[in-house]
Structure 1
């Protein structure tokens, strides 16, 4: 126990030093953590806690997803709901299809393995992209599009992964009717559990005036919805996102007051911002260490380069054709915004949580793990480092983009 506590305190101390240094060097904080984690792993200077699927799935993801959904305003989201849902749902399905087909035909992967990898790699990670946007002061419609699409396609990818894994473990013998039932159960169950927790938190918070109790109730909503949904093999990601959206978008009226006290409302966002900051600090440092320690020499560089090229092409297919559908509507997405949606489609915690949870009997499991870590490392370091200059070149940094009006109805 004391060793674990020492490791946690050591990780937090390193993360805070990286945060202060990154601010001085104008380096994205999350990328600095990945680089430092890699250096620590290479040097062997400090033993970090292992990066496990349990740590990622049950401790890291709930606060990150809840904080992101808590701050997503429905009144803003509904103006762009059509393109956001198209990108998050249809785009994720399209990306998965492109990756799976390419892996089967170009790299001779088994269908089951291709589907599993395609599902887990098709979601962009709101953790990395939101942290980068906050660091660089990106506001306005672009931030809404990227944050909401990446948050919702996490839920879509988690559902597709569950279906692909069930297909793989069944040896490809699942019928279409069974797959449809699994889809309805996973989505419906996750959404219902999340909604139940969201409204339960609101009702329970009305019975107290203690702001600490109110914050504790929201923590129960975030983690409880995730754990209960996973217990019933539904989508924990969708459950937590649904709970966060309901709690974050509840607004008092003349007939009914706020379910939070004034102090509780004041602390709510700060508390979850802090929780997400701690989760970010831990996960990106451990990602860097795990990426550096992975035995990439087991496969040719052509394997990694090929899979990376496929995932980037699939992301382009999930963005550009769908954006073209709205080119003559009030939801038009500019060329600059489309490029940011493509190149800013970073991978991170969710992909790693899913890949580390793969049972050993999944075909090509070890290869899937290695190529996933390679794609995540490239995404965070290369795409993440180049995003600030890209945003600056396209004019999305600072006041210029903040004042950009939303397309008129």
Structure 2
């Protein structure tokens, strides 16, 4: 117990130092954490806990997803809902198809392994990009597009991963198109139902009290409860938590006097979930950096990693540019600069890693999938994370006002 407490306190101390230094150097905080985690692992420290699928999936993801969904405003979201849903759903499908086909025909991967990796690597990480946007003061439509698309993309990727994993474990046997369609409907419908149930349950319970500490505790139960119950019934925990967060964050906002929270509770709610997300961010990126630096990449040639990275970046481009073109003559037009940010800002992170680490040993190429996933995530966090602020500055998004339509051209 004392060793665990020492590890947690050590991580918090490191995170605070990194936050202070990163802000002074104007570097993304998440990138700094990953780099410091890598340095600690490089020098052989054992003061950091192991990065496991359970830690990522059940402890880190729920608060990060809930906090991100909590801050999305429905009145803004519904204005851009058509392009967001098209990019999140059809974009994820397109990216998965491109990655799978390329791995099968260009790199010779088995179909089952290609589908599993394609599904998990198509999940963009709202955690890293939202943290970077906050650090750089990015606001307006581009922030909404990236945050909302990433959240719904995560839900879509998690569902596709469940289907791909079922196919891989069954060896393609007894899995007809009708069976997969039913599984898809069950995973999505079940996750959505549980998310809505928990969201309104929190609202109903909070109406019976005006004690802000109880109100905050109820939202925490909603965030973790929705995720855990959905996963218990083998439906989408990611979708359940996102919908619960959207409902709690938006209920009563557009109707004066209909807020279910007390004034103090509403104010404290934002502070509590900001802090929870900060703690989760600090843990996950520090541990990712440490794990990345300690992996045995020499087991496979560099062409495997470079090839998978190139395929993932190309697939993300296919998921963004052609679909954005569908809205070019509509009121939902996505400007070229916004498209570039959606592509390069499609970072991979906690969800992709948790899904990769959760793979059972009998999945073909399981170890290779894990190594390649960590490599792509490391490139995403460090290379894309470091170049995003200059790209945002170059495209004119830094310091953009919320009151102005955020549609700069490159």
Q: TM-score, normalised by structure 1?
A: 0.97
How far apart are the structure 1 equivalents of 2:267 and 2:132? 25
Where does the alignment leave 5 or more consecutive residues of structure 1 unmatched?
A: none
Once the two structures are superposed, residues 117-168 of structure 1 have per-residue CA deviations (whole angstroms, 9 ceiling, x without a partner) of 0000001100000000001111001001000000110000000000000110
Partner of 2:356: 355
| Deviation of the 1:2 alpha carbon | 1.2
Partner of 2:109: 109
Partner of 2:184: 183
SS state of the match for residue 246, structure 2?
helix
Q: TM-score, normalised by structure 2?
A: 0.97
| Deviation of the 1:258 alpha carbon | 2.1
| Deviation of the 1:405 alpha carbon | 1.7
How far apart are the structure 2 equivalents of 1:45 and 1:135? 29
Once the two structures are superposed, residues 8-36 of structure 1 have per-residue CA deviations (whole angstroms, 9 ceiling, x without a partner) of 11111111111111111111100000000
Once the two structures are superposed, residues 45-97 of structure 1 have per-residue CA deviations (whole angstroms, 9 ceiling, x without a partner) of 34310000000000000000000000001100111111100100000000000
Q: Check conservation: 2:120, 2:352, Cα contact below 8 A.
A: yes
Partner of 1:158: 158
Partner of 2:93: 93
| Deviation of the 1:102 alpha carbon | 0.4
Where does the alignment leave 5 or more consecutive residues of structure 2 unmatched?
A: none
Equivalent residues in 2 for 1:227-376, closer than 5 Å: 227-251=228-252, 257-376=258-377
| Deviation of the 1:256 alpha carbon | 6.3
Q: Check conservation: 1:138, 1:402, Cα contact below 8 A.
A: no
SS state of the match for residue 306, structure 1?
helix
How far apart are the structure 2 equivalents of 1:274 and 1:227? 21
Partner of 1:204: 205
How far apart are the structure 2 equivalents of 1:64 and 1:267? 17
Partner of 2:123: 123
Q: Residues 329, 370 of structure 1: CA spacing in aligned structure 2 closer, same or farther, 3 A cutoff?
A: same
Aligned pair count?
Answer: 406
| Deviation of the 1:406 alpha carbon | 6.3
How far apart are the structure 1 equivalents of 2:228 and 2:67? 17
Once the two structures are superposed, residues 153-205 of structure 1 have per-residue CA deviations (whole angstroms, 9 ceiling, x without a partner) of 00000000000001101111211111011101100000000100000000000
Partner of 2:216: 215
Comparing 278-287 and 19-28, the one that deviates more: 19-28
SS state of the match for residue 138, structure 1?
coil
Partner of 1:2: 2
Q: Residues 333, 254 of structure 1: CA spacing in aligned structure 2 closer, same or farther, 3 A cutoff?
A: closer
